[in-house]
Amino acid sequence: MAETKGTPQSGADILVQCLVNHGVEVLFAYPGGASMPLHQALTRFGDRLRTVLPRHEQGGGFMAEGYARSTGKVGVCMATSGPGATNFVTCLADAKMDSVPLIAVTGQVGTHVIGTDAFQETPIIEVCRAITKHHYLVQRTEDIPRVMKEAFYIASTGRPGPVIVDVPKDLQNRAIIPDYDPPMNLPGYRPQRAASREQLEGVLALVRHSKKPIIYAGGGIIQSGAALYLRQFAEKTGIPVALTVHGLGGFPSDHFLCLQMLGMHGTVYANYAINDADLLLALGVRFDDRVTGKVSEFAKHGKIVHIDIDPSEINKIKAATLPVNGDVCQTLKELVALLDADPSLGPKSNAYADWIRQVEEWRSQEPMRFQDRDDAIMPQFAIQRLWEILRERGMLEDTIVTTGVGQHQMWAAQYFKFNSPRHWLTSGGLGAMGFGLPAALGAQAAHPLKTVIDIDGDGSFLMNIQELATAYCEKLPVKTMLLNNQHLGMVVQWEDRFYESNRGHTYLGAGFEHEPYPDFVALAQGFKCGARSVERKEDLDDALEEMIDSKLPYVLDVLVPYQEHVLPMIPGGMTVRDIIKA
Amino acid sequence: MRHVLSALVQNQPGVLAHVSGMLASRGFNIDSLAVGETEDPVLSRMTFVVHGDDTVLEQVRKQLDKIVTIVRVDDISSENYVERDLMLIKVQANSAQRTEIALLVEMFRGRVVDVSAVDIMIEISGTESKIVAFIEMMRPFGILELARTGRIALVRGRPMSKEAQ
């Protein structure tokens, strides 16, 4: 047994045992010279720990993110030194921006050659400092259990984030007698944050005295598991809820208080409501520029309550009237408890009737809409039909959606409705193209029985298309609905709006006189995945059904016009008055 | 406004790189940064002098505090604290000028640490304003080289590092 005291074990075996001890069931690992001892160890733990082999380290990193985002658990990926490790850079930056608990283990050249520009040596810790929550270059084999314990603790507590652990090869090979439960050495890390009673009462007093309150809820709701309490709080107070792209699913989209997404491509009514509100309850959000537009104009008519676990987010972009540095789940839970104990602390019933009436008026005047066509499949229509078919089949709760980055991502956010957390995985902060397919594979590995659909664009999909091999070989039957417009659609949209439609290398095809390029069906079939291409609207439903029912990984290539813009749109740095409506 | 931040950090490789990288990548301008071991070998103290309004300072402090290896950060500007900067300065001096320079060194409570036929090296410590004043006094003689440690500071009375434990 690996845990037997007194038996020397290699650093690699110790590290893998630590993964098992911390509850890791699957990791995504691509081997190489400096991580071979780790992979040899993984073969010895095959019965307890599944190793998924991606086809590119970036794919492995995004898979670990898909795993983490869909479960809330720490995702683990592994790569060798040098180029293996640098291929994690985008994933780590992505996990940092979106607060995803991730541990990346990288092999490093032996300690005796570190600093000599050895083969496949990069100082990956130096590279990754600014894009990780924390980082370790392991110094001694004896330190491995403590480092791994700290890495899991740091990645998963407070505001979650990525941790990189760089392990020189000689330390992987060296055998010692391990202590699997060493004390942590983190005197400066205090992740627990709680609101004071005074702050909680202050929040409720502001709510009581407001006439037009609104909740602006983000990824913190999902990360902290606060969806239930957000719903209770919204219902008890009657305050409408607008969601960020990462907040989607944190509050049911079919709830009458849900104003859907706010911000650059949010609903008109959500943005009107934010602008008009006299109290903004900002819950687990960071006032990203894609939400605020021009910061000085954002929510400028109201007081701001900002509840966030990360003190550095408070007053970073927008000064809060009442800053609350606390875990948003715990804080909402306590607010609900206060309201339960003494309803007079909250607003009177129907206190916001006029406000809700106003919001409803905006909602009915400015619903989400697009100009549908019969001679083509509109991208919005394809997403709407996908959602409708899954709903009719009662599959929505068992469906996880991932995306690439661009127009298709925003349309998915607008037209696929999410009612519960962790069903929607997207690269929001970093906006990393190529995220969709590998993230879907990671989610599928975590949820073998769920339907995992990557709604992707042809640009993003091609960035990590090699992961179709992972899908097939690892039996991860993810579905890709490819909205193929032969362009980098979002950049094209900005070219149309701001650069007189001059195409700056945004066309991805091989010439308009040719067939769409590349042939995604042939590519998918080359990977032995199911595939089909549709161009006519009347074929779409049948093709979607075929995709959903496929037992194999499947690529549905949906040919869509490229001229369509994502609307509504508040151009970057502008205000709600500049909104471009559909 | 001028602020003095005092931070206790874990004495580990890479902490200084982490801190200076964070400050640079977030666009914070630091006038002075000094680092050295403390009475406790596992902790180092970093002293920062930062100019900025309260919003900037709040962010600098919070971003520093967010670094896992930083144990605590205090803005000691409003406290009763002692601040020192140590300078070595090499000045042109022939035998005729040495007496005048030596007098100035005495007035500033500095120390002559090296003399040659053509120059003189002086060690002096004190507050930033004193150091700057001394540099100005030396300028007419011709400053050949100077090195400064950057500001270090400690609050009177209260032992910060003990509280951290």
Indicate yes or no: CB of A186 within 8 angstroms of CB of B65: no
Q: What is the mean pLDDT of residues A514-528?
A: 97
Alpha-carbon torsion angle B49, B51, B53, B56, nearest 10: -60
| pLDDT score, position B1 | 86
Tell me the per-residue pLDDT of A63-96, one tens digit each, with 9 for 90 and over: 999 999 999 999 999 999 999 999 999 999 999 9
A6 pLDDT more than 90:
no
Pairing of strands A75-79, A162-168: unpaired
Pairing of strands B143-148, A530-534: unpaired
| Listed range (A17-21, A128-132, A387-391, B48-52) with the worst mean pLDDT | B48-52
Q: Are residues A361 and A390 in the same domain?
A: no
Q: Are residues A351 and A385 in the same domain?
A: no
Indicate yes or no: CB of A129 within 8 angstroms of CB of B14: yes
The dihedral through the CA atoms of A454, A458, A462, A463 has a sign that is negative
Q: Are residues A218 and A306 in the same domain?
A: yes
B161 pLDDT more than 90:
no
Note down the domain range covering A29: 9-176
Rg from Cα positions in chain A: 25
Q: Are residues A339 and A386 in the same domain?
A: no
Q: What is the mean pLDDT of residues A284-306?
A: 96
Q: Are residues A252 and A131 in the same domain?
A: no
Q: Which residues on A lie below 8 Å from B72 (Cβ)?
A: 188
| pLDDT score, position A141 | 98
Q: What is the mean pLDDT of residues A411-426?
A: 98
* Cβ contacts from A onto B, under 8 A: 47
pLDDT band at B163 (very low <50, low <70, confident <90, very high): low
Indicate yes or no: CB of A188 within 8 angstroms of CB of B69: yes
A208 beta partners: none
Q: What distance in Å separates the CA atoms of residue A69 and residue B145, rounded to the nearest whole number? A: 56
Residue A415, helix vs strand vs coil: helix
Q: What distance in Å separates the CA atoms of residue A456 and residue A487, rounded to the nearest whole number? A: 13
Range list of H helices, chain B: 15-25, 54-66, 95-107, 128-138, 160-163
Tell me the per-residue pLDDT of A296-351, one tens digit each, with 9 for 90 and over: 999 999 999 999 999 999 999 999 999 999 999 999 999 999 999 999 999 998 99
| pLDDT score, position A224 | 97
Which residue is catalytic, options A133, A169, A318, A479? A169
CATH code of the domain covering residue A548: 3.40.50.970
Q: What kind of fold does domain B2-79 have according to CATH? A: Alpha-Beta Plaits (3.30.70)
> Residue A192: inside a domain, yes or no?
no
Which residue is catalytic, options A9, A17, A28, A57? A57
Task: Find, in chain B, the residue whose alpha carbon is nearest to that of A131.
Answer: B22
Rg from Cα positions in chain B: 18
pTM (2 decimals)?
Answer: 0.96
| pLDDT score, position A5 | 64
Q: What is the mean pLDDT of residues A186-206?
A: 96
Say whether A120 is catalytic: yes
| pLDDT score, position B159 | 74
Question: Domain total for chain A?
Answer: 3
> Residue A370: inside a domain, yes or no?
no
Distances (CA, A) of A41 to A9, A160, A291, A349, B116: 10, 28, 46, 62, 66
* Between residues A259 and A193, the one the model is more confident about: A259
B162 pLDDT more than 90:
no
The CATH number for B82-152, chosen from 3.50.50.60, 3.30.70.1150, 3.30.460.80, 3.40.50.720, is 3.30.70.1150
Tokens 């509840």 belong to which residue?
Answer: A307
Query: Over chain B, what is the mean pLDDT?
Result: 93
A4 pLDDT more than 70:
no
